[in-house]
Amino acid sequence: MTEEAGPRIQGEKRRATDAEARALASAVRLRILRLCYSEPLTNKELAQRLGRNPATVLHHVRTLVDTGFLEAQPARRGTRGSREVPYLATGKSWLMDIDDRTPPARDPMLAAFLEEVAAVGERRLSSSRLGLRLAPDDLAEFRARLHGLLDEFARRPVDPRAERWSLYLGMHPEA
């Protein structure tokens, strides 16, 4: 039997509020959510892992807490006795529908993915590419089935002993 840890995604997708959509429109905030998905991290730990200034990271953490994407966990004592607050992702971001919003100039999900790949190195990236010709009904079915598979895995309990993986999926019509 596996030990469960981390958030369990529950509920249906819904339209994001403007504040929620703005919170998810940042590659840094998306990376923070990914880092805090299965283990609580402090602002200092996040800043170190992201290679960013702690004050800048704190701004992003506060935005994610204020919109319910991160939850503060019980405070703990740091190495020098200081009070540290770790944060854990709630899984709420998976439930947000922001597809009908005006997209930002640069896709924050793609930017976050590229930063993460750069951090681990392209040699560790497993990728594939596929061209399809799909009628409108087939495209709708393809998207629904693909999203269903992703949703099924996103809602599984987190096994703290399992290896961590990230997935980015992008689709576009061909020119």
- Domain definitions of the chain by residue range: 14-124
Q: What pLDDT shows up at residue 11?
A: 87
Q: What pLDDT shows up at residue 146?
A: 96
> Which segments within the chain are labelled E, that is strand?
14-15, 41-42, 70-72, 76-77, 83-84, 86-89, 96-97
Q: What pLDDT shows up at residue 44?
A: 94
Q: What pLDDT shows up at residue 1?
A: 35
Q: Which run of H or E residues covers position 43?
A: helix 43-50
Q: What pLDDT shows up at residue 103?
A: 67
Q: What pLDDT shows up at residue 88?
A: 95
pTM of this structure: 0.86
Q: What pLDDT shows up at residue 100?
A: 66
Q: What pLDDT shows up at residue 3?
A: 43
Q: What is the CATH number of domain 14-124?
A: 1.10.10.10
Helices H, strands E: what count in the chain?
Answer: 6, 7
Q: How many CA atoms does the CB half-sphere of 128 hold within 13 Å? A: 3
The rounded average pLDDT for each run of 10 residues, N- to C-terminus, in the chain (175 residues) is 55 92 95 94 96 96 98 90 93 86 79 93 92 96 96 88 90 88
